Structure 1
């Protein structure tokens, strides 16, 4: 349940596909404040007046060292952190390179096929996105 008295924050996530259609997932580290050791899409907070597309490319590059081309909007979901209500906008993106180099925020990265998502512990707020994208992790 989302608490009404918290401010909204915008988050940008990328559903990144490689040339063979695999999705890039990153696993949050054990030190993560939210959803530790769960699989997530690369991305993060949009800073101030930063353009959305720039924020998404920046976050993906910071977290994975992968350059992307944004393709289309997949959807948006709402979640909550201890301090904010988060609107998470997910864009489909094409990987321009596939050599992943993780930041300290994550401890593992995997390129997975949609039908292999069921065996992974995905962050709960992304379930509607995967369902809409026809690759629900269940």
Structure 2
């Protein structure tokens, strides 16, 4: 059996839509695909702690997790990533991308190449992206 890797993700809504990040083309997972901010949970961290840390590292934003929105798997050759998605409130900070991502946008509609798990989530919950 492949190991399950917990990954937390933040659905950040703004006036212009949902914040999306495009992974670096050098990334070993989902290169150049669009995703929600977030990342792996470290040993000893709660999901809330991991989400706050990852969003701050990737975007410069300070957030408070609010509600669980869903969980979606992505199967890789040697692991299964379990993306746990939360709605969040932005408490401060200024949007600045880390080296993991090469672009961002505020998405409401249109065509973007999403990570596979995000395509599934978006299909299940289109109301969150309006």
TM (norm. structure 1) is 0.84
Q: Is 2:3 aligned against 1:7?
A: yes
Q: Distance in 1 between matches of 2:86 and 2:43?
A: 19
Match of 1:37 among 32, 35, 42: 32
Q: How does 1:50-89 map to 2 (within 5 A)?
A: 50-89=45-84
CA offsets, 1:48-80, max 9 Å, x none?
121110000100000010111222111001112
Deviation at 1:44, TM superposition (A): 0.5
The 8 Å contact of residues 74 and 116 in structure 2, kept in 1 or not, is answered as: no
Q: Distance in 2 between matches of 1:48 and 1:98?
A: 26
Change (3 A) 1:22 1:96: farther
Give the number of equivalent residue pairs.
Answer: 129
Residue of structure 2 in register with 1:124 after alignment: 116
Q: Distance in 2 between matches of 1:99 and 1:24?
A: 13
Gaps of 5+ in 2: none
TM (norm. structure 2) is 0.89
The 8 Å contact of residues 37 and 58 in structure 2, kept in 1 or not, is answered as: yes
Q: Is 2:125 aligned against 1:133?
A: yes
Q: How well do the aligned residues superpose, as a CA RMSD in angstroms?
A: 1.9
The 8 Å contact of residues 78 and 87 in structure 1, kept in 2 or not, is answered as: yes
Q: Is 2:105 aligned against 1:105?
A: no
The 8 Å contact of residues 15 and 91 in structure 1, kept in 2 or not, is answered as: yes
Deviation at 1:134, TM superposition (A): 1.6
Q: Distance in 2 between matches of 1:60 and 1:134?
A: 22
